[in-house]
Amino acid sequence: MKLRLHNRVVAGELAGGRSTATNTARWTKGNNPLHCLAHSLNPRFYSKEWLDEGIGRVPPHKDREISRMRMTCFKKFFRIPQELAQVKEEYAKFSSCSDEFSDYDSITG
């Protein structure tokens, strides 16, 4: 919901084409590493339907800010370098729909 709100604010769709400070503040408040990780792991945000709903939407693994916050979260949860490397590899498979995630049912939300 927050990303949808953010996208609508950026696109100027709210308030009769005017974005408001209140809407921007809502996005800023909810934009934290754990929120970005959850967003990154939600298959819905990789679907063509969701991406086509708004101007400038990109999948989470291609969004620089979300990727930075996701990595912050990964580094806090996985402090052993080998575990972090494994998690990053698994996420890469998930976000690119490869290996065990290539099955349509595993990535659709």
Q: Who has greater pLDDT, 101 or 15?
A: 101
Q: Residues 12-21: pLDDT tens digits? A: 444 444 445 5
- Please give, one letter per residue, the 3-state secondary structure of 17-79: CCCCHHHHHHHHHHCCHHHHHHHHCCHHHHCHHHHHHCCCCCCHHHCHHHHHHHHHHHHHHCC
Q: Is the pLDDT at 8 greater than 70, yes or no?
A: no
pTM above 0.75, yes or no: no
Instruction: Return the domain boundaries, the chain.
Output: 1-31, 32-107
Q: Who has greater pLDDT, 6 or 49?
A: 49
Q: Residues 24-55: pLDDT tens digits? A: 555 566 678 899 899 899 988 988 899 999 89
Task: State the pLDDT at residue 15.
Answer: 43
